[in-house]
């Protein structure tokens, strides 16, 4: 409770955790900060020590404050798990396997995750998707890390610094072509007239970068800089191309479309709510669960109807 946090009654929280741990089969305890503990600077290291002493369970703290977006919290949680559980190994130890970081249900639908699992599973190497605690414990033994969303970058770079594991921040081209074939086909139909139009991809950065590469390869006649990535979420400088955009809010997105009234926007249909009137461009639906809570693309004819209903509701 807020008053417990403000008055420093940490023992109450520890007692509740002890009772829960006695009833559940758990491997560790995670403390995720909310605005009040963040404002009063709760000493989470001390609370973690108290919990570990009372429960015998390893405990991590995710120092969120309730004022930022989902990817920062996911990034902090993944990094905290790596810090706590990755076991040291000799630097000359044999390395094997591929680790996939950032495969969260907020960034990928169930079907997209299954497609990526199947594609990577064809490779003759063990894969760790960091969905089990053992994957974090054995992370230092990995031969390579594949980061598929910005939420996994911080943890991957920690593993790279500490254990020299190389990183690839990308999605396999075969996955992009398979998972987003419908978007690419609709884009091909729009570009048939040969008219030069700006293309804006709005999603998490690594997926958007992969889709941009697929578009540039499929349509080599597009001029340099015709495809731009924009995101409301983390935009890592090392992965940015010149001209990529970080939208601080819907107003920035709205302003971009006012400046590019004929653009093709590849993004969640919910973005239609922020499209200026009049707008002569096209919105191709690319669902982002973190944005709208939708997992599958809708029929093109329903995009504007969906947006209008979302506004009225």
| Model confidence pLDDT, tens digit, residues 122-158 | 667 789 999 999 999 999 999 999 999 999 999 999 9
- 212: in domain: yes
| Residues 188, 307 within the same domain | yes
> Which two three-digit tokens encode residue 105?
């249900």
Query: Is this structure's pTM higher than 0.75?
Result: yes
Long-range contacts of 219-225 (CB under 8 A, 24+ apart): 219/187, 219/188, 219/191, 222/191, 223/196
pLDDT at 41 over 60: yes
Binning the chain into helix, strand and coil, the percentages to the nearest 5 are: 50, 15, 40
Rounded percentage of the chain residues whose pLDDT exceeds 70: 94
What is the total count of domains within the chain? Answer: 3
Biggest CA-to-CA distance, the chain: 69
In Å, how far are 83, 98, 161 from 95, measured between CA atoms? 19, 10, 16
Please say which residue of 143, 169, 195 terminates a domain. 169
**Strand ranges in the chain using DSSP code E only, listed in sequence order:** 29-32, 59-62, 98-101, 127-128, 144-147, 167-169, 199-202, 227-231, 245-246, 264-267, 282-285
> Which two three-digit tokens encode residue 144?
């390579």
Q: Which residue has the higher pLDDT, 193 or 110?
A: 110
| Residues 163, 182 within the same domain | no
User: Residue 193: which domain range?
Assistant: 175-312
| Residues 51, 110 within the same domain | no
| Residues 213, 293 within the same domain | yes
Pairing of strands 59-62, 29-32: parallel
The 10s digit of each residue's pLDDT in 154-191 is: 999 999 999 999 999 999 999 999 999 999 999 999 99
The 10s digit of each residue's pLDDT in 105-119 is: 999 998 999 999 999
Pairing of strands 98-101, 59-62: unpaired
Residue 131, classified by CB atoms within 10 Å of its CB into exposed (0-12), middle (13-18) or buried (19+), is exposed
Pairing of strands 245-246, 127-128: unpaired
Please say which residue of 44, 67, 90 terminates a domain. 67
pLDDT-derived band of residue 312, with 50, 70 and 90 as boundaries? very low
- 155: in domain: yes
The label of the residue with tokens 């605690």 reads 133
Is the sign of the CA dihedral 74, 77, 83, 88 positive or negative? negative
| Residues 212, 270 within the same domain | yes
Pairing of strands 98-101, 29-32: unpaired
The 10s digit of each residue's pLDDT in 212-261 is: 999 999 999 898 889 999 999 999 999 999 999 999 999 999 999 999 99
**CB atoms inside a 10 Å sphere around CB 33:** 19
**CB atoms inside a 10 Å sphere around CB 23:** 7
Residue 176 CB contacts under 8 Å (≥ 6 apart), including other chains: 210, 211, 213, 214
Task: Provide mean pLDDT across the span 57-62.
Answer: 96
**Euclidean distance between CA atoms 8 and 5, whole angstroms:** 5
Please say which residue of 147, 169, 191 terminates a domain. 169
Domain CATH number, residue 210:
3.40.50
Find the helix packing angle between 70-85 and 153-163, rounded to 10°. 30
| Residues 139, 264 within the same domain | no
């Amino acid at each position: 409770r807020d008053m417990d946090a403000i008055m420093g009654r940490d023992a109450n929280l520890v007692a509740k955790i002890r009772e829960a741990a006695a009833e559940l089969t758990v491997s560790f305890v995670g403390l995720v900060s909310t605005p009040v503990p963040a404002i009063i600077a709760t000493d989470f290291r001390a609370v973690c020590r108290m919990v570990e002493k009372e429960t015998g369970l390893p405990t991590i703290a995710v120092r969120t404050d309730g004022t930022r977006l989902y990817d920062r919290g996911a990034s902090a949680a993944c990094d905290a798990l790596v810090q706590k559980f990755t076991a040291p190994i000799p630097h000359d130890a044999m390395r094997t396997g591929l680790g996939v970081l950032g495969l969260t249900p907020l960034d990928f639908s169930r079907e997209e995750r299954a497609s990526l699992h199947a594609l990577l599973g064809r490779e003759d190497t063990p894969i760790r998707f960091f969905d089990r605690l053992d994957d974090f414990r054995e992370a230092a033994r990995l031969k390579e890390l594949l980061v598929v969303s910005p939420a996994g970058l911080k943890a991957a770079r920690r593993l790279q610094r500490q254990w020299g594991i190389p990183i690839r921040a990308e999605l396999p081209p075969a996955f992009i072509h398979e998972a987003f074939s419908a978007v690419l086909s609709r884009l091909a139909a729009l570009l048939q007239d040969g008219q030069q139009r700006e293309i804006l991809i709005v999603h998490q950065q690594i997926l958007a970068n992969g889709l941009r590469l697929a578009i540039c390869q499929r349509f080599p006649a597009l001029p340099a800089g015709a495809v731009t990535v924009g995101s409301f979420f983390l935009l890592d400088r090392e992965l940015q191309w010149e001209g990529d955009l970080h939208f601080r809010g819907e107003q920035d997105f709205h302003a971009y479309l006012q400046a590019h009234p004929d653009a093709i926007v590849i993004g969640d249909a919910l973005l239609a709510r922020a499209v200026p009137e009049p707008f002569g461009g096209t919105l191709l639906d690319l669902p982002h669960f973190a944005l709208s809570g939708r997992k599958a693309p809708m029929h093109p004819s329903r995009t504007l109807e969906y947006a209008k209903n979302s506004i009225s509701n």
